[in-house]
């Protein structure tokens, strides 16, 4: 039986509602052209989902919200090349629709036709910086990331192309339409949307959590090793210079057994700082841990612990690299609230206190 496409009427209605909401946001920017860039995230409460914009300069967590756009079946929201992109997909639906938010023009634009994507099987979609290409990682099993085939769809021609099989992590450069792909051999390859391998780098065992620098010149990754004479795995953060291929170790946890697991390492726009999340041991048995947020100064190699109890999601930098936004739990809320950390002053400011589940944090380029 031929698989039926989803009804477009639901998506069109949602787009109209979103556009009406965006007219309010557009008026905000017209009236306040010098307003600071808002922070964007998605939230869910009682099965109702929304995209929320908040002010990073608010002094009161009860009044930081600039606007909320209710979107049915919202699954994710991302910031791609300073554009807000979100995906709609009903539970159990095999098709997903991507939309581009243009708050200044008060409109939503569909990014091509609906895509056949099954997130229940671990499938993931990645949009290129130009928004022309969509990479879909098809996983054969959720437990083995290397049983993944990577398909790229050209939105101008709607033509799918299988680029590579047996891949692990993959991610678009933030500045051009080039993918970094982890191969099953442990090599990292730079690949064009047409499937041409531009460059390959030496294999590195246990590469995890890779992320691009904002200028597209470096990739950070975490690598795991076992301490000699101890049944303990420790992770370090490394930097790969894509021009020279040189790999530099940025952390030193061999004598610090408390840092057992590192993830979500992300460069600041000026390439001086790396924020990351670490599971820190809090007792000698190693059976209890909590997740802490750190900022690493790559020039001095000094680490600063920012917060405990952070959610496992990407922290985000502002354009100046002086402020870091993150989601952290509080004693009154296990869902997490949005906080800002100022690198210069060390001051933290809580921006939300609505006790709603938050994810997909981005610092908008609006």
Query: Is 214 domain-assigned?
Result: no
Query: Is 263 domain-assigned?
Result: no
Residue 47 pLDDT exceeds 60 = yes
Provide the domain count of the chain: 1
Residue 130 pLDDT exceeds 50 = yes
Sign, CA dihedral 312-226-232-122, equals positive
Q: Whole-angstrom Cα distance, residue 114 to residue 259? A: 43
Q: What percent of the chain has pLDDT over 90?
A: 19
Predicted model pTM: 0.80
Query: Is 127 domain-assigned?
Result: yes
Given this model, what pLDDT does residue 257 score? 54
Sign, CA dihedral 337-341-345-351, equals negative
Query: Is 23 domain-assigned?
Result: no
Per-residue pLDDT averaged across 131-145, rounded? Answer: 70
Residue 296's DSSP bridge partners are: 274, 303
State which of 31-45, 269-283, 292-306 shows the largest mean pLDDT: 292-306
Question: Which tops the pLDDT comparison, 67 or 5?
Answer: 67
Q: How confident is the model at residue 295 (pLDDT cuts 50, 70, 90)?
A: very high
Given this model, what pLDDT does residue 205 score? 64
Query: Is 361 domain-assigned?
Result: no
- Domain residue limits at 180: 117-200
CB burial string 197-213: b at 16+ within 10 A, e below: eeeebeeeeebbbbbbb
State whether residue 17 is helix, strand or coil: helix
State which of 87-101, 104-118, 165-179, 215-229 shows the largest mean pLDDT: 165-179
Residue 63 pLDDT exceeds 70 = yes
Given this model, what pLDDT does residue 283 score? 47
Query: Is 26 domain-assigned?
Result: no
Query: Is 261 domain-assigned?
Result: no
Query: Is 99 domain-assigned?
Result: no
């Amino acid at each position: 039986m031929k698989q039926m496409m989803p009804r477009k009427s639901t998506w069109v209605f949602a787009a109209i509602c979103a556009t009406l909401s965006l007219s309010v946001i557009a008026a905000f920017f017209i009236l306040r052209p010098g307003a600071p860039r808002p922070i964007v995230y998605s939230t869910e409460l009682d099965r109702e989902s929304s995209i929320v914009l908040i002010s990073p300069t608010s002094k009161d967590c009860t009044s930081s919200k600039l606007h909320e756009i209710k979107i049915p079946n919202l699954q994710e929201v991302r910031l791609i090349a300073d554009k807000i992109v979100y995906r709609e997909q009903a539970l159990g639906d095999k098709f997903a629709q991507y939309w581009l938010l243009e708050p200044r023009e008060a409109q939503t634009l569909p990014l091509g036709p609906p895509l056949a994507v099954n997130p229940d099987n671990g499938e993931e979609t990645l949009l290129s910086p130009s928004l022309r290409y969509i990479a879909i990682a098809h996983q054969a099993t959720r437990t083995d990331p290397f049983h993944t085939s990577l398909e790229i769809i050209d939105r101008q021609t709607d033509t799918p192309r299988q680029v590579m099989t047996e891949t692990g992590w993959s991610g678009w450069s933030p500045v051009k339409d080039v993918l970094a792909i982890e191969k099953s051999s442990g090599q990292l390859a730079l690949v064009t949307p047409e499937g041409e391998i531009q460059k390959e780098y030496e294999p590195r065992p246990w590469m995890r959590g890779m992320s691009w620098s904002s200028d597209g010149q470096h990739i950070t990754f975490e690598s795991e090793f076992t301490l000699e004479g101890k049944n303990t795995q420790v992770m370090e953060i490394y930097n790969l210079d894509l021009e020279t291929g040189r790999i530099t170790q940025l952390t030193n946890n061999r004598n610090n057994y408390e840092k057992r697991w590192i993830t979500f390492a992300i460069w600041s726009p000026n390439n001086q700082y790396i924020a990351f999340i670490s599971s820190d041991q809090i007792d000698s048995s190693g059976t209890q841990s909590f997740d802490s947020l750190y900022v690493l100064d790559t020039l001095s190699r000094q680490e600063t612990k920012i917060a405990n109890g952070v959610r496992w999601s990407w922290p985000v930098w502002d354009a100046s690299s002086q402020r870091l936004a993150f989601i952290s739990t509080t004693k009154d809320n296990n869902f997490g609230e949005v906080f800002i950390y100022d690198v210069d002053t060390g001051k933290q400011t809580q921006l939300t206190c609505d006790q709603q589940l938050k994810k997909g944090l981005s610092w908008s380029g609006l």
